[in-house]
Amino acid sequence: MVPKLCGQDIELGNFVMGTSAGHRSGAEASRALLAAIEGYPRMRPAVSAGPYACPCGCGREMALPTRTNLQDWGRKWLESGACCYIDLDHLELATAETISAFDQVACTHALLRVAQRALASVNVARPASARITALANNSDRQGNSYGSHANFLVKRSLWDQIFNTRLQYLLYLASFQVSSIVFTGQGKVGAENGAPDVDYQLSQRADFFEQIMGPQTTMRRPLVNSRDEALCGGWNGSSPSPLNGLLARLHVIFFDSTLCHVSTLLKLGTMQILLAMMEAGQVDRSLTLDDPLAAVVAWSHDPTLRAQAELEDGRRLTAVEHQLRFFDAAQRFVEAGQCDAVVPRAREIVALWGQVLAALHAGRAEELEGQLDWVLKRSLLRRALGRRPDLSWSAPQIQHLDLLYASLDPDEGLYWAHEREGLVTRVVPESRVEELTGNPPEDTRAWTRGMLLRHAGPDAVEDADWDWVRLLVPRRGGVKVPCTIRLRNPLAGARRHCEAVFADAPDLETIIDRLTVRSESAGPDAGAVEALASTATARETTH
């Protein structure tokens, strides 16, 4: 097994208030927010598609870049090891990699803080009639869904088993995800995408899944995504990186955006444990659902948690009963010490998982108001309906409150109001969240990525990705030499590996020289950092 390093991508719903649906409101909003985030540009668009009228009606002209990837435009890298970019007119936030699910909760909230500050900065200069709104949710109530993706490091052999050789592994994973909505759903008023009408449901994503497996993310969405981007080396000259044959990234598009700490921790931590069990060959085929796509809608549309779905063997279970079967197996696995080396604090995750399922199974969901998003949101909406008996679940006012739950504006976002009042159960302290708004986690390659950006500065950063950073390094005589630092191993480049490289370094040239020497002296199995300097005598160093 390998450590279950994880990360998240959070697509925001963003638009300009007061504009009609026919305008490109999302384009203006996302680009304004991205411009307000300090980072290191991956793309510097110099050519535009020509002016178009600003959708806020202010009379200004705007320009969009041409010849760019509309699903990955304007990517900026942050010193925290995270990045932000625009995906189809949505601002997307991608957290730094962490090994601990607890650290990932902190990284997620830290990056949301960065987006909140950008939102506040943008709106200060805008008229109230053209204020930008950003939502950490998954549906715009206009039939569109945008993603919240989780990513997990797995062995390449497990990835192949899931998608190529063992159908039962694919169905086992899909079935687990489907019933996990009892703690991973954000909650939603109504239904979309042709699903049967409902007052309130557990998951915002449930109505939008249309097939079991596939590589796509924006149409006919699959329960299990088969995109194969390892992000751990790719090609090294003319031959693939050895790590690319050993490691893979499981790209999970199933989950809702979650704000409650406990929801987010369980979303990530239980998946870490499940994937460790799968790598150990512990797959219980009796838990496979007969029709996972029908089950996710049936279970999501019943917040009483009494709806049942059929397993392959004919048994019928509620979503909570189904999760309890996974929990029992996971608890035995963790207590036997089989997660110790790959999932930090696995016993704490299992204990919390068990407590949440026990409360749900006993019909005491209200006790989890400060822990699960769908429970908290439902409670808030019920209170609103109690104060306004003339309204129903389908009333525009209730639908509006549904959206406001996830607003990033701290003055209107219902979640943030409850967090400020201490009504949300925290699994990481605010001090840790604030620390990670500007600093990278220390136990993965994100630390070296962040330190390279910090020491290089924006003028020296030419380009970057998850597994490399390309710099223009000043050399003697004032010449700037292109240099690529390769971070092929996501588990290497941690602070303990590379802190000495940056300590007391007078300039970027010294850091690069140290990295090269360290790479040459460490040997092929050290797994820290590789450097490639494109000079006449340079060579790629590997370790």
Phi, psi of 125 (to 5 degrees): -95, 5
Q: Which residues of 122-158 are buried (b: 16+ CB within 10 A; e: fewer)?
A: bbeeeeeebbbbbbbbbbbbeebbbbbbbbbbbbbeb
pLDDT value for 527: 38
d(CA 319, CA 284): 16
d(CA 463, CA 484): 9
DSSP state, 490? Answer: T
Of residues 136 and 61, the one with the higher pLDDT is 136
pLDDT value for 370: 96
pLDDT value for 232: 86
Please report which confidence band the pLDDT of residue 416 belongs to, taking 50, 70 and 90 as the band edges: very high
Any long-range contacts for 189-196 (C-beta under 8 Å, 24+ apart)? 189/381, 189/393, 189/394, 189/398, 189/399, 189/402, 190/141, 190/393, 190/394, 190/399, 191/301, 192/139, 192/141, 192/143, 192/145, 193/143, 193/145, 195/297, 195/301, 196/297, 196/301
Residues 6+ apart with CB under 8 A from 117: 36
Residues 6+ apart with CB under 8 A from 327: 350, 353, 354, 357
pLDDT value for 517: 66
Closest Cα partner for 287 from 254, 319, 255, 326?
326
Output the six-digit token pair for 417: 């109001």
- Residue 463 forms beta bridges with which residues? 470
d(CA 517, CA 501): 10
CA separation, residue 260 to residues 406, 422, 426, 428, 463 (Å)? 11, 12, 8, 11, 34
Residue 20's Cβ-count burial label (10 Å; 0-12, 13-18, 19+) is exposed
Cα-Cα-Cα-Cα torsion 132, 41, 255, 138, nearest 10 degrees, comes to 20
- Residue 311 forms beta bridges with which residues? 289
- Residue 314 forms beta bridges with which residues? none
Please report which confidence band the pLDDT of residue 24 belongs to, taking 50, 70 and 90 as the band edges: confident
Phi, psi of 30 (to 5 degrees): -65, -40
C-beta of residue 364 within 8 angstroms of C-beta of residue 356? no
Residues designated as active site: 87
CA angle 61-62-63, nearest 5°? 130
d(CA 521, CA 543): 9
CA angle 103-375-359, nearest 5°? 85
> What secondary structure does DSSP assign to 23-58, as a single string?
S-HHHHHHHHHHHTS--EES-----EEEEEE-TTSS
d(CA 309, CA 319): 8
Domain 6-233+241-367 has CATH 3.30.590: yes
Cα-Cα-Cα-Cα torsion 193, 194, 197, 200, nearest 10 degrees, comes to -20
Chain Cα centroid distance, residue 455: 27
Lowest mean pLDDT across 283-287, 323-327, 358-362, 516-520 = 516-520
pLDDT value for 533: 30
pLDDT value for 475: 80
Lowest mean pLDDT across 7-11, 240-244, 411-415 = 240-244
pLDDT value for 531: 35
Does the structure show a pLDDT above 60 at 345? yes
pLDDT value for 450: 97
> What secondary structure does DSSP assign to 182-248, as a single string?
HHH---EES--TTPPP-SEES-SSGGGEEEEEES-SSSSEEEEE------S--EETTEE-GGGGTEE
- Amino acid making up residue 260: C
pLDDT value for 476: 76
Does the structure show a pLDDT above 90 at 2? yes
d(CA 373, CA 385): 18
What percentage of the chain exceeds 90 in pLDDT?
78
d(CA 5, CA 234): 18
Question: Would you list the domain boundaries of the chain?
Answer: 6-233+241-367, 368-429, 446-533
